[in-house]
Structures are given as structure tokens and as C-alpha cells.
Amino acid sequence: MTENVNSSGDSAIKSEDKEEVTVIQEGQAKVGFHGPVFYNPVQEFNRDLTVTVLRQFSADHQKWAEEQKQLKTEEEPPKKKNKLAINEDGKIRILDALSASGLRALRFSKEVPNVGFIMANDFSDNAVASIQENVKLNGVEDIVEAHFGDAVMTMMEHRGIDKRFHAVDLDPYGTASTFLDSAVQCVADRGILMVTCTDMAVLCGNTPEACYNKYDAVTTRMKCCHEVGLRILLRAIDSAANRYTRYIEPLVSISVDFYVRVFVRVHTGAFQAKQSGTKVGTVLVCSGCHSMEPLVLLKRGEGNQQSKYSIPTVRHSISGPGNRCIHCLLPLHQIGPIYLAPIHSKPFVTSLLERLKSTPEAERLGTHGRLQGVLTMVNEELDDVLYYEHNQMANVVKVSVPKSQSVRSAILNAGFKVSGSHCNPRAIKTNAPMHLLWDIYRQVAKDTSVDREKRLAKESAGYHILGQPITNTVNFTLHPGAIEQAKKENLVRFQCNKGKNWGPRQKAKGSVNSTKAGFQLTEHKE
């Protein structure tokens, strides 16, 4: 067998039967392709982020396991140790449930420390054969096992306490909703579940009926639709976990390119699982001025009543007579339910950034710069639900779009918090009340002598907003906190990938047919 390098930088291997195999290297792993196996080079950032998260998770797990060994006595029942997934060697087990070429599993085996076993599963004969070849090509036969099986069945077979995985990766073509129920069962306690969804049209509100069928939630098209999509997915995962007295702790939640990607830690506990109802809810959205207000589903008791829950009293701050927006008098819509709790763990993200900064230049991943920029933005994000676009708000009242720093400064000078969002370069995420935000744009309209009678239709949202008085002092003096840290450091924050190969690739033909998957109904002639 000989290996040559072609003009594109990839390798071409000729086997004894003269069949040419294209070899691509990503990170420290090599993969060969000669059949219809799914591969998308654009998702290198996704895989680099996963490797970074797993490195930190592995280090945290090893540290935690050592602490548990010191705290526990040798007489502790083995069943308890199995439940917590404390192996004698302290190494972690990983499942790549939809492995395709096996690239993720191979990279995990070579780039993530303290890994004892990786199952690279796929429901395609071609894919499994390719995984086996690539495992040999990388020399990791002692760690990676190629496994043929339906992803759901494979995960269900490993839901036993002593069979669970410390980390489960789901990277399907389209939605991951059909895999969530089995996935939350096969993750060990305190394990990590990593989920990608590429059906952004569904998650972003283009087809609310499809969103309801897949995620048990509805949404509409909004400027903050990408964060809505993240929160819909997190709520779906948490809901699946709650059925088994489990709950999630979001570590990192990312919406980039053409997909959403979430990393959640899965815990077990009936008492904490009951609190999930206080972390989800619906959101009122104005169809005119786009004002929003979250409404939680359950309220937890206080004091000695913390074990009791009740339905909260409905008190809408943006709903007026006739269920219309108090700011612009246009109708309100209701979306959800979505996850309302924080979608990132700031201590975990800080650990990721410290790991990236301490990595020697020769050992950095291919998308190191973008990883550092995106995670820095994530670390700066407020935990407040959803965000606004400052240029959209200016468009509502038909004023010239003010500088983002001016709007941020006005919010900070009023005593409130503000941040951007990794989802949108024009995002304004804040804990300021909606009336203050509209006062800022009313002040802009006043300073630029905007005549609402001439510029706006009387039935428009902006006409009603500009007709209200300014009740807050608006100060546009530049505030030191108005400039984002990622921008100060000139980090890669938003990357436009709309080039030749951008977007989700076509699903591998012949990988899984409906008959083999068990979804095709057999027709019987009468």
C-alpha cells in the first residue's frame, strides 16, 4: 500500500486492488474515504470545540474521582461506585453514537487524555467498515471500537448503571430529538451529553408545527431566534431527563454557522429534577415592536415551603387592554416553552479559556483563534433571557441607527447591565426594563428631530412609541464597560463561512435506509 499527496493537500492511498482512498487529516487523526461516508470539513470548529470541552471534562472528572476515593471508605457498596461511574483506573468511556467516518472518535482517542474506551457506532455497513479501516490507520485499536447498530438501540442497551458512558456525542443530520430519550438514560451520573442540531429552519420559527412535533415547543421568526433555538433544545433535553428523575446543567451552548451545539452535564436526583419546572416557561413577544417578557411555568415555595410548588400568578408587564402591547398597542404572541435558566456555566467557560490560553502554539487546534473569540463572548454574556437588535429597534421608530457603544453606554449609565451575544453581532442583552430601552430611542428621535407625523404611519408601532413621553434620564456618555473584551483584544468573534463548501452537507447515500431503521411500513395487498 502506497501513499501520495495530491494537489489539494490531501493524501491518496492505493491499496493492492488499486482502489484509491482519499486520506484527510484533521487535528491528530487521519481518515480515509472511498465510499458514501458523511464528512463535513466546515464543522472543524464544532469538533475542535468538542475536543476542548472533553479535555476539560476529563480533567475535572479525574480530579473529582480522586476526591471521591479519598472521601469514601473501601466498604462502600460497589453499586454506589458504579452509579457514579467511578472506574478503578479513573478513565472515561465515550460514545460517538452517529460516528459516520469515525473522525470524532479518532480525534477523541488521540487528543483527549484519560480516555479508556470509545465506541464509534453507526447504522451503515459502509460507515462501520470505514471506521474499522481508520482505527487501524491511526493505530488506536486498543481504545476505539467500531460498532454496528441503531443509535437508539445502542444507547438503550447501555442504560444500565454499570454500562453507561461518561460522555455521549450526538451529531445527527438534522434534528437530534429522536435520540434524546435514550441518550439521557445512557449517560453516567455527572456525565456530559453533547448534542448538535442542524434543523435551524425549524428551531428558528419557519415551521412552528414541525417545531412542536420535534421539540414540543412553538416559536416564531425573531431576531433572537438562534438563542430561542438553543433554549428550545435545552428544554427538550431537560424534559427527557426529568422522566427518569434526572436533570441537566448546561455547560456551554453555542449557535454558530448553520447549527446549534449544546454541552450539558446530566445529574440524578428527584428533588432537583422537580425544580426543572421553575427553569422553563413561555415568552410573550410583541408582533410590532418586538418587546419580550418571559413567564415561568412553576414557582417554588420560600422558607420552610421550598419542597412545595405552585403555578405563579400571571402578571404581564408588557400586556395591556385587549392583550395588546403597552408600548405599541399591537398584538402579542406566545412562544415556548423554552429553557429560562442560564445556558452557560461561567466557571466552566473560564476554565476552557484558561486552557486555550495556556496551550503552546505548536499544540493549538486548527480553529484556536475562533474558539478563543467565541468563548470570550460567551463568558461575557449576561444570563438574561434572549436579546434585542439595536438596529431593529431603531428601525421600529424610523431613526438613524445609533452606535452600539452609545446604546450600551446609555444602559450602563442608567445603572443596568448589558452585554452582547455570540449569536448575533448586533445583539443587546440586558436586564434593563423595556420602557428604558424605548426611552433611549425616543431620545435619539428627539435629538435628530424626527417628526413621527411625517415619517410614521399612525397605525405603526413606532408611531405609538414616539407618542409616549421620556421618563428616564438618558446619558450617552461613553461608559468604560460599553466595549466588549473580545473586541478590545481583537479576537475572532463572528466568522462568515458562506464560501464554496459552507452549510450542512448532503446526507450520505446508502448510509441508513428506512427499512433497515425500522421505520418503513410493509404494504399488504388485500
> Which residues participate in the annotated binding site for S-adenosyl-L-methionine?
47, 104, 122
The 8-class DSSP code of residue 67 comes to H
DSSP assignment of 177-199:
GGGHHHHTTSEEEEEEEEEEE--
Number of H helices, E strands in the chain: 19, 19
Peptide bond into 402 cis (omega under 30): no
- Amino acid occupying residue 60: D
Contacts of 153 (CB under 8 A, 6+ apart): none
Q: How many CB atoms lie within 10 A of CB 143?
A: 19
Q: Is 27 left (phi over 0), alpha (psi -120 to 50) or beta?
A: left
Gap between the Cα atoms of 388 and 380, Å rounded: 16
Per DSSP (E only), the strands in 221-362 are 246-256, 259-268, 280-286, 292-296, 299-300, 309-310, 332-339
Give the number of C-alpha atoms closer than 13 A to the C-alpha of residue 286, restricted to the C-beta side. 26
- Amino acid occupying residue 140: V
CA angle, residues 49, 52, 55, in degrees to nearest 5:
150
Nearest to residue 126, comparing CAs of 61, 35, 210, 193? 35
Gap between the Cα atoms of 281 and 341, Å rounded: 10
The x, y and z cell numbers of residue 115, run together, are 480516555
Q: To the nearest 5 percent, what fractions of the chain are helix, strand and coil?
A: 40, 20, 40
The 8-class DSSP code of residue 218 comes to B
**Bridge pairing between strands 115-122 and 144-148:** parallel
The x, y and z cell numbers of residue 444, run together, are 435619539
- Binding-site annotation: residue ranges: 47, 104, 122, 286, 289, 325, 328
CA angle, residues 68, 73, 74, in degrees to nearest 5:
110
Instruction: Determine contact, residues 224/387, Cβ cutoff 8 Å.
Output: yes
- Give, in order, the Cα–Cα distances in Å from 134 to each of 106, 107, 279: 8, 11, 43
- Binding-site annotation: residue ranges for Zn(2+): 286, 289, 325, 328
